[in-house]
Structure 1
Amino acid sequence: MPLTSEVVRANRTRISFAMSQFTVPLLARTYHAFGGDMVAALIMGEIAHRNVEHWLADESNSPAPLEDPAVRLSMMRPCNALSIADACGLPRETVRRKVNWLIERTYVKRSDDGHLYLTVNAGDDFDEMTAQNVQAVLDTADRLRRILAQTPTASCA
């Protein structure tokens, strides 16, 4: 069954509940992983996305070069505080402060020309959280498929 606005509307309550069962724990895990600093988490995520989106968008590209310090930066797309501020809709000064916080924690490095890159060890502190997030995505997708497969008829809606 195609996902249309009518199908979503007919299942809105169950869809919203399933999504909140995913989203609320995701936000809580992120909050705790970043010591309550959700803005730093957002900024780190945007830096990571900007750095690797071009390379990983081609599914035939191996992620292995991203783990090799000798070639890593040549595979990554650079970004700066201004581009991150624009992408996140945040003041540049806020981004600058949070980037410094991320640098102190060795999640991000700033090159001599001011470009921002995720460090090779940036994900080390998040492996368990990532595993939980992936499992939660899969569970939520299954739950949503079951909900959508049982779309009520107009008389039951």
Structure 2
Amino acid sequence: MSNESVPQVDPVLEGGHGSEDSQADDRQRVLKRVALLLARHEVRHLRRWFEEFDRDILLPILLGEIALHNIGSTENGKGEELGRGDDANCPLKPCNAYSIAAATGLPRETVRRKIVRLIELGWINKRHNGHLYVTSAALRHFGAVLSSRELADVIETADRARRLLES
């Protein structure tokens, strides 16, 4: 089954006269196909992350929140020195288990346990003061994953959605 294009229906041949209702129905069908396309993309994406993190779907969510929180401070043009120096010398914005629990809506104890696992995997560092930072190893690994696999899939899905909407 191809999601590439939506068959064009001539409203006159279908017994209509190109009414606004017919056009609205056609538009609804296209939107449903786009929604299905996007849902398939999201499920593929979730499955990949699920497998990448040893079948624990909360780990990529927490790593993502920590990374976004940290890296948000680098948008002003500062360089990155991940995992070096103390907090005063680190351009990344720190976060802690409490702020990540608040951001995700997950219980603090769950976040704390998952942070221990992310530390074991080498994806985040926890400083003595509780500040959490994504590691350069995590950025390299997941940056490579995103650029090699995910980005191409996102672009392809977006192109397919655009073609559906333009038909």
TM bin, normalised by shorter chain, reads: 0.7 to 0.9
Q: Which one has more relative contact order, counting CA pairs under 8 Å at least 6 apart?
A: 1
- Alignment partner of 1:77: what SS? coil
1:108 Cα deviation (Å)?
A: 0.6
Q: Given that residues 50 and 78 in structure 1 are in contact (C-alpha distance below 8 angstroms), is that contact kept between their aligned partners in structure 2?
A: yes
Matched, 1:49 2:68: yes
Matched, 1:85 2:101: yes
Larger radius of gyration: 2
- Alignment partner of 1:113: what SS? coil
Q: Given that residues 74 and 80 in structure 2 are in contact (C-alpha distance below 8 angstroms), is that contact kept between their aligned partners in structure 1?
A: no
Task: Please provide the CA RMSD for this pair.
Answer: 2.4
Unaligned 5+ runs, structure 2: 1-23
Give the structure 2 partner of residue 133 of structure 1: 150
Matched, 1:145 2:162: yes
Give the structure 1 partner of residue 123 of structure 2: 107
Alpha-carbon distance between aligned partners in 2 of 1:111 and 1:25, rounded to the nearest angstrom: 35
| Residue 108 to residue 21, structure 1, CA distance change in 2 (3 Å) | same
Q: Pick which of 29-38 and 124-133 moved more.
A: 124-133
Q: Pick which of 107-116 and 120-129 moved more.
A: 120-129
Unaligned 5+ runs, structure 1: 1-5, 151-157
- Alignment partner of 2:157: what SS? helix
Q: How many residue pairs get matched?
A: 140
- Give aligned-pair identity as a percent: 34
Alpha-carbon distance between aligned partners in 2 of 1:125 and 1:85, rounded to the nearest angstrom: 24
Match of 1:66 among 75, 80, 91: 80
Q: TM-score under structure 2 normalisation?
A: 0.74
1:17 Cα deviation (Å)?
A: 1.8
Q: TM-score under structure 1 normalisation?
A: 0.78
Matched, 1:12 2:28: no
